[in-house]
A = this chain, B = another copy of it.
Amino acid sequence: MNKVYIAGIGQTPVSESWDKSLKELAGDAGLMAMNDAGIGYPDALFVGNMMAITANHQAQLGTLMADWLGFHHKPAISIETACSSGSAAFRMALMAIASGELESALVIGAEKMTDSPGDEITASLATAADAELEADFGLSFVGLNALLMRRYMYEYGWEHKDFANFSINAHANAMHNPNARFQEPITIESFKKSPMISDPINLMDASPVSDGAAAIVLTSHPIQNGHKGVSVIASSSMTDTLSLQHRKADTGLTAAETSAKTAYSQAGLQPHDMGLFEYHDAFSIMAALSLEAAGFCAPGEGPKMAIDGKIKIDSEIPVATMGGLKARGHPVGATGIYQLVEATLQLRGLAGANQVKRAKYALTQNIGGSGSNIVTHILQAE
């Protein structure tokens, strides 16, 4: 597949938004990315979103955003793979450009979750699980992750507090990100004292329900936008069984592992070449499993990397460099684009206090469902 370039990026603050609708948030991010690229209207619009039809009573969000942004008579679609919808939309845009059909595209990831009562959002999130085999029996999405975490603790002998450093690191990084939902640090004590949600997952293990939108303009050729160029050198997507009960591995994210290996192979690179890893820390158990699946440590050793400080900005593999899902926030359909926008900021050298040192290659991995839909990308500073 031909190389594709990131020509513009935009993001709104992740928040509980009372003064902007889903359309306005997505529009703001889209306009920022278009202004950043400075090429006028791209050829098409791709929107990653999970739950607008339930949370906002709005289907065909792609068409709505094309209308709102003034994409007159251009194509627009919505793409959905639960929590990996954002990067799945990005990947579709990549292929559409590589096909020669488009020269440029705007990709928006957007979600507005806080307009709905908590029970409705819990129900909407549960649709990411297998309706017949999981959700219909009352398993919530956090419940599924709790099963994974409990099993992982049993298999590898970790205690709940051993996961604290994933969240502490995410909050520490979010302190310097003006777009992050939570810009305050947390400690091991506050982690331990946090209220239980679904044993063993407590509030500090979990990413927050949020509103937000992020956007990227992709082009078939490099453009001059005043920033260091960034290109996409690997794109790999894979699925696993939707239900946890059918997985061959009790805890390991085998589709994430295979997707990461495929991406490394496409780029001709190894894990140690990566200058940062925007991982999918929707829950602290997912942070541990993602580190392992992406080849940064052996199965069962994720928490040790966090405890040893090997995931900090200036360490072995900086993760969640702008706060991650845990502290930047997790507006589900937008998250994949936030990851890619943040990785681009790092490769452009514009990540401020959180700037990583080796800003040549960035790995992003977005996970839909409990490890069932994986989208992995590697970006390169030109």
**Residues on A close to B: CB < 8 A?**
1-2, 21, 23, 44-45, 50-51, 53-54, 56-60, 62-64, 66-67, 71, 73-82, 88, 92, 94-101, 123-124, 126-128, 130-132, 135-136, 235, 237-243, 246, 254-255, 258-259, 368-369, 372-373
Contacts and interface: CB of A to CB of B under 8 A. Distances in A.
A63 B101 contact: no
Contact of A54 (B53, B128, B135, B368): B53
A127 B53 contact: yes
Given A100-B1, A100-B98, A73 B239 contact: yes
A348 B301 CA distance: 57
Given A96-B95, A96-B99, A63 B369 contact: yes
Question: Top 7 A-B pairs ranked by shortest CB distance?
Answer: A98-B99, A75-B237, A59-B127, A99-B99, A95-B99, A58-B131, A60-B82
Nearest to A255: B73
A95 B372 CA distance: 24
Given A51-B53, A60-B128, A239-B71, A92 B96 contact: yes
Contacts of A98: 99-101
A60 B126 CA distance: 11
A63 to B, nearest CB: 5
A47 to B, nearest CB: 9
Nearest to A64: B242
A63 B127 contact: no
11 contacts: A54-B54, A58-B127, A62-B373, A63-B81, A63-B239, A63-B242, A63-B368, A76-B239, A92-B95, A97-B99, A98-B101
- The listed residue with most B CB atoms (<10 A of its CB), out of A45, A59, A71, is A59
A76 B242 CA distance: 11
A72 to B, nearest CB: 8
A94 B92 CA distance: 11
B77 A78 contact: no
A254 to B, nearest CB: 8
B372 A74 contact: no
A56 to B, nearest CB: 6
A67 B246 CA distance: 9
A1 B103 CA distance: 12
Given A60-B372, A79-B77, A100-B98, A67 B239 contact: yes
Contacts of A82: 59-60, 63
Contacts of A127: 53, 57-60
Nearest to A56: B131
Contacts of A97: 99
Nearest to A22: B131
Contacts of A241: 67
A238 B80 CA distance: 20
A45 B237 CA distance: 11
